[in-house]
Structure 1
């Protein structure tokens, strides 16, 4: 394929569009019209709006993320792990719709076993960039649904998902833990205390109510509950996942600096070595490799 194209990173809550000309990213658009925030429009209408400034260039479009899910535009079948990320470019799914340009969706990857059922969409593109630019045996991708991925070179062997970000949101906004609290303030020391507790006592289901009790009894600053809970949940996630993947000696953290730093603190406390790789850089590197593979 030509080195000029448009790439869309289209998730549940956000959409990012990148224009590549002769292999270089020359323009970028960010939108909050993820697939759960279409506000009465269809994915095709949003697609047309987003690429409208670049439509006259008549470039192909590669999309990754939840846009390929059963809640998105096209329900693209998953590729079963073990799977080589280097082969993603040979498995793109064409969008059969009346579009002004040709478009494809990158398929996600699945694991379906008695001991593990898991799916990912979007992360596979970041992983492709990371396995070449920041190699490790385990990749940690923090987020609403954090992914822990075990690889052998570019081969995805296994992965697990932790709903840590979503749990934090639900507990703070739709449970007794967050009732009657003032505006939350950053509290780095409180976060570390929660992190230590979660790492040492990862089976926290029976302890979550203590978060509420602690601030009701004035043992926890009411403005620091969010950071305490965040530390507790992240610590628990890291401890549980290290039981599965802790025999590996290197972890690459993929994401934005603010979120990866929280997980980096957990890995430090757990005595695990790590390196960070920017999520945008990982996505763009992965997309370039997919496009290059399409041309072969």
Structure 2
């Protein structure tokens, strides 16, 4: 594994608050995107997304170099479950998905010459992008766009909505509270989604990209980048353009939150370009 470029930065510019993580050793390279839970399992200064991220990064450092996709994702999932058990909250986490520590991952295995992608983490090999946006996220983004456009029809300005994000986010929250019910749910639904949260089991939802035998450039990133390009400079430039032209995040790219005043971006972001 040869690292060409990497970046990991939190939306608030504070490393201790960033729920993204980057990992590289001789056998694996990964971008981990921890998810913010709606509720907390235990009283701690670390968010649930940070706990999930740190659990997975620790797991990757001890992973068997020849681990299969199933073995790797089982181990990463088990690392989160182990944290629940250490805190005595396994039953509570099982019964209330809104409290779980969860994360998505893009992972390269040098031994298998494969990229494994879960959820909306991203992988770019050549010109082919691999990612999967959740249907429930698309729905929430559309609802938020509706709320923003309705507010502007009532006379609110972009500047006002950026300075007072709670005007929209408070209304969206009523819908967002429904989302965790679909997390790793055993019931069929078009809004069901899969994530590493200690109760992951749907290995078929992991996307697999086979790499050629020759040395290959692979780019991994979290969903903090609306557009993924072959270089960090081009990817950062696209993000800067998005934030400048559409800081409400409802037009050229939709998100469940805007660019909050004082933040560096609308989300944590991480980028890793390597040769495998």
**Structure 1 or 2: larger strand share?**
1
User: Is this a same-fold pair by TM over 0.5?
Assistant: no
**Structure 1 or 2: larger helix share?**
1
TM-score by length of 2: 0.26
TM-score by length of 1: 0.25
